[in-house]
C-alpha cells in the first residue's frame, strides 16, 4: 500500500514494475517496513497451517463412511423458542467482521497520527475480539453439554467433534493472542509511544504507527480464516 518515491528509483506499476522491483538492489518490496514484510510472510506461513488443518478436515470428512452431523442443526440456537440454524455462528461472524472494520479504520487513523481515534478503534476491536472469544466459549460449553467430545459425539461421525474442537480451538487461540496484543497496543497508542517513537520493553524496537498496521494485518488474517472456517465447517 505504501508507494513511496524512492530516490534514484522510479516506481512502476504492474508486472513490469514487479520485474523492476525484484531486479533492484536493497529491497524487493519497495517502501514496505521490515516488520510489515515479516508479518506478511508469517501470515503466508500461517495460511499453510490453516490450509493443512482444513485439508485434513476435508479429507477426514469425505472419507468417513459414518454419517456427518448436519452443522445446520447441531449449531442451531433457540431464539424465542424457535430453533434458528447457525444463529450463534452468524452472530460471531457479525462480531468478527465488525471488529475487522474497526481495525481497518484504526490503521487509517494511525497513519493520520490521530492518536485518540486510533486508540478508541483499537479498543473497540479488542472488545469485539473479546466478545468473539466469549461467544466461542459459550458455543463450546453448549456442545460439550450436549455430549460432543473430541473423541465422540451423539450426532454421527466421531471426527466431527475432533475437527471442530481442533480447528475452532486453533482459530480461537489466534483470536485470543490477537486480543492480548490489541489491548497492549491500545495502551501504547493512548500513552503516545508511537508519537514519541518510544522503545518497546521487550524487543527494544522503536515505536511507530506502522506497528498498528502490522497488528491490523494479523487481525484481518484472523477474520479471513474465519471466512473459510465458516464456509467449510458450518455451511458445508
Partner 1 sequence: MEDSKKREQSGSTHKIGIYLWIWGLLFVLSFFSYLVDWYQFQGMLRWSLILFFMFLKAGLIMAFFMHLYWERYALVNVLLWPMTAIVCFICLMIAEGKYTLFSRLFYFFVGG
Partner 2 sequence: MSDEHENKSGYQAQSSETIHAQSSEAITGSGSGIAPDMDYVRPAELPEQDLYHPHSFIEKWVFCQDAKVIGVQYFLTAVFTGIVGLILSWLMRLQLGFPGLAGFITAEHYYQFVTMHGMIMVVYFLTALFLGGFGNYLIPLMVGARDMVFPYVNMLSFWMFFVAVVVLMASFFVPGGPTGAGWTLYPPQTILEGTPGHGWGILLMLISLSLFVIGFTMGGLNYMITILQARTRGMTLMRMPLTVWGIFTATVLAMLAFPALLVSSIMMTLDKLLGTSFFMPTILKAGEVLEYGGGSPILFQHLFWFFGHPEVYIVALPAFGIVSDLISVHARKNIFGYRMMVWAIVGIGALSFFVWAHHMYVSGMNPWFGFFFASTTLIIAVPTAMKVYNWILTLWRGNIRINTVMLWCLGFIVTFVNGGITGIFLGNVSVDVPLSDTYFVVAHFHMVMGIAPLMVIMGAIYHWFPLVAGKMLNEKLGKWHFWITFLGAYSIYFPMHYLGFIGVPRRYYEMYDSPYMTSGVGLNEFISTAAFIVGAAQLFLVFNIIKTMKTGKKAEQNPWKANSLEWYTSTVPPEHGNFGDRLPVVHRWPYDYNVPGAEQDYLPQTAAPSEVAHTEVEKT
CB 215 within 8 A of CB 181: yes
C-alpha cell at 129: 475480539
Q: Which of 122, 123, 92 is nearest to 104 (CA)?
A: 122
Residue 107, phi then psi, degrees to nearest 5: -60, -45
Interface with partner 2 by CB under 8 A: which range of 45-53, 86-94, 116-124, 223-231? Answer: 45-53
Q: Which of 139, 136, 135, 155 is nearest to 147 (CA)?
A: 155
Provide, rounded to whole angstroms, the least separation between the CB of residue 150 and partner 1.
21
184 Cβ contact list (under 8 Å, min separation 6): none
Burial of 125 (0-12, 13-18, 19+ CB in 10 A): buried
Q: Which is nearer to partner 1, 28 or 149 (CB)?
A: 28
Task: Please choose which of partner 2, partner 1, none residue 190 contacts, taking the beta carbon within 5 to 8 angstroms, the exact cut-off set by kind.
Answer: none
Q: Which is nearer to partner 2, 120 or 163 (CB)?
A: 163
Provide, rounded to whole angstroms, the least separation between the CB of residue 168 and partner 1.
17
Q: Between 87-111 and 210-229, two packed helices, what is the crossing angle to 10 degrees?
A: 160
The interface with partner 1 within residues 94-123 (CB under 8 A) comprises 94, 97, 100-101, 103-105, 108, 111-113
> Which residues contact partner 1 by CB under 8 A?
1-6, 11, 13-15, 17-18, 21-22, 28-33, 37, 40, 44, 47-48, 51, 55, 58-59, 61-65, 72, 85-86, 90, 93-94, 97, 100-101, 103-105, 108, 111-113, 208, 210, 213, 216-217, 220-221, 223-224, 227-228, 230-231, 234-236
Amino acid at each position: 500500500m505504501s508507494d513511496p518515491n524512492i530516490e534514484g528509483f522510479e516506481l512502476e506499476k504492474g508486472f513490469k514494475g514487479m520485474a523492476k522491483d525484484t531486479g533492484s538492489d536493497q529491497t524487493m518490496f519497495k517502501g514496505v517496513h521490515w516488520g510489515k514484510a515479516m508479518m506478511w510472510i508469517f501470515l503466508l506461513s500461517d495460511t499453510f497451517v490453516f490450509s493443512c488443518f482444513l485439508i485434513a478436515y476435508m479429507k477426514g470428512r469425505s472419507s468417513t463412511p459414518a454419517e456427518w452431523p448436519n452443522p445446520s442443526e447441531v449449531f442451531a440456537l433457540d431464539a424465542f423458542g424457535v430453533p434458528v440454524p447457525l444463529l450463534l455462528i452468524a452472530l460471531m461472524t457479525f462480531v468478527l467482521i465488525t471488529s475487522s472494520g474497526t481495525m481497518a479504520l484504526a490503521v487509517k487513523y494511525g497513519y493520520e497520527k490521530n492518536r485518540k481515534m486510533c486508540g478508541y478503534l483499537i479498543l473497540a476491536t479488542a472488545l469485539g475480539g473479546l466478545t468473539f472469544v466469549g461467544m466461542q466459549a459459550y458455543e463450546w460449553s453448549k456442545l460439550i453439554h450436549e455430549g460432543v467430545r473430541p473423541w465422540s459425539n451423539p450426532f454421527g461421525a466421531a471426527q466431527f467433534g475432533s475437527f471442530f474442537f481442533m480447528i475452532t480451538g486453533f482459530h480461537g487461540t489466534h483470536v485470543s493472542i490477537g486480543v492480548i496484543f490489541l489491548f497492549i497496543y491500545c495502551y501504547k497508542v493512548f500513552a503516545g509511544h508511537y508519537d514519541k517513537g518510544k522503545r518497546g520493553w521487550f524487543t527494544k524496537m522503536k515505536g511507530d504507527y506502522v506497528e498498528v498496521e502490522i497488528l491490523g494485518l494479523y487481525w484481518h488474517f484472523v477474520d479471513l480464516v474465519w471466512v473459510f472456517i465458516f464456509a467449510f465447517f458450518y455451511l458445508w
